């Protein structure tokens, strides 16, 4: 791991949820080497994770999918209710696009694979805490494919597009989000300030009634804006 950037605030409080004890311990040891992170607890199943999240109020939850009893993607709603302010990052071996789609629908702010390098995980956590959506490169294509497939039957009903309530500028911002572009990249492409992009992103999320950029990207793709 490269040298850590200087601390600019309190350490990010993390809850690790995984049913493999050795993996939890290894991940905790890895993250604890970085002063920007504070692993405040761990859990081995969805029920324990919900109790620990409610008790500890973490900033971020790293959640495996293959948990005993209830899969992580299905446990997301209860977990987010237990700790409403926590961001949830899936960290799993599953490359199933159905798991990816369920995770994004249920409020995960990202979907990462356990094959990633430690430094890449560090950067993903920091991006997630800045409000960005983070999806493993290997899963990006599957994300859009999954929602193209699930969107097809709904086209017969011809529902009103949620994009209609967005201004032209907000639709440009959403198009950038759907491509996975950062606020800085979108600002550079549109020739506007990054702070302006952040404001537009907040408006887009509110108008679409979603909690994360991943969910906004899914809606954009479903309606042909991706």
**12-144 and 154-222 agree in CATH topology:** no
| Assigned CATH topology for domain 12-144 | Rossmann fold (3.40.50)
pLDDT band at 144 (very low <50, low <70, confident <90, very high): low
Please give the residue that has the higher pLDDT: either 102 or 144: 102
Tell me, what's the pLDDT at 217?
Answer: 85
Tell me, what's the pLDDT at 145?
Answer: 60
Q: Is the pLDDT of residue 27 over 50?
A: yes
Other Cβ atoms closer than 10 A to 74:
16
Cβ atoms of residues 90 and 72 within 8 Å? yes
Tell me, what's the pLDDT at 5?
Answer: 46
Q: Is the pLDDT of residue 2 over 70?
A: no
Per-residue pLDDT tens over the stretch 108-140: 999 999 989 999 999 999 999 998 889 887 787
Which run of H or of E encompasses 88?
A: strand 87-92
Instruction: Determine the Cα–Cα distance for residues 174 and 9; give it in Å rounded to an integer.
Output: 30
Q: Is the pLDDT of residue 152 over 70?
A: no
Instruction: Give φ, ψ of 130 to 5 degrees.
Output: -85, 0
Question: Residue 38 in 3-state DSSP?
Answer: strand
The CATH code that applies to domain 154-222 is 1.10.10.10
Domain borders along the chain are 12-144, 154-222
Question: Residue 71 in 3-state DSSP?
Answer: coil
Closest CA to 107 of 219, 215, 15: 215
Task: Note the helical H segments in the chain.
Answer: 21-32, 46-56, 72-82, 97-105, 118-129, 137-151, 168-178, 183-190, 194-208, 213-222
Q: Is the pLDDT of residue 93 over 60?
A: yes
Q: What is the mean pLDDT of the chain?
A: 86
Q: Is the pLDDT of residue 156 over 90?
A: no
Q: What percent of the chain shows pLDDT beyond 90?
A: 48
pLDDT band at 157 (very low <50, low <70, confident <90, very high): very low
Per-residue pLDDT tens over the stretch 56-78: 999 999 999 999 888 999 999 99
Average pLDDT over residues 136-149: 68
CA distances from 197 to 91, 104, 180, 203, 218 (A): 28, 22, 14, 10, 19
Cβ atoms of residues 2 and 26 within 8 Å? no
Q: Is the pLDDT of residue 19 over 50?
A: yes
Question: Residue 202 in 3-state DSSP?
Answer: helix
Q: Is the pLDDT of residue 1 over 50?
A: no
Query: What size, in residues, is the chain?
Result: 226
pLDDT band at 82 (very low <50, low <70, confident <90, very high): very high
């Amino acid at each position: 791991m490269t040298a850590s950037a200087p601390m600019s605030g309190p350490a990010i409080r993390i809850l690790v949820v995984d049913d493999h004890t050795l993996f939890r311990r290894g991940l905790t040891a890895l993250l604890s080497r970085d002063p920007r992170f504070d692993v405040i607890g761990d859990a081995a199943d969805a029920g324990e994770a919900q109790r620990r999240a409610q008790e500890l109020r973490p900033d971020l939850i790293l959640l495996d999918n293959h948990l005993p009893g209830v899969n992580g993607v299905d446990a997301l709603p209860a977990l987010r209710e237990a700790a409403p302010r926590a961001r949830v990052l899936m960290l799993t071996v599953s490359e199933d696009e159905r798991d990816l789609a369920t995770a994004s629908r249920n409020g995960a702010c990202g979907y990462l694979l356990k094959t990633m390098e430690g430094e890449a995980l560090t950067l993903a956590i920091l991006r997630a805490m800045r409000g960005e959506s983070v999806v493993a490169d290997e899963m990006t294509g599957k994300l859009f494919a999954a929602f193209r497939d699930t969107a097809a039957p709904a086209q017969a009903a011809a529902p009103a597009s949620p994009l209609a309530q967005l201004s032209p500028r907000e639709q440009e911002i959403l198009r950038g989000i759907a491509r996975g572009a950062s606020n800085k990249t979108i600002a550079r492409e549109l020739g506007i300030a990054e702070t302006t992009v952040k404001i537009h992103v907040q408006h887009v999320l509110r108008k679409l009634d979603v909690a994360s950029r991943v969910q906004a990207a899914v809606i954009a793709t479903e309606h042909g804006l991706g």
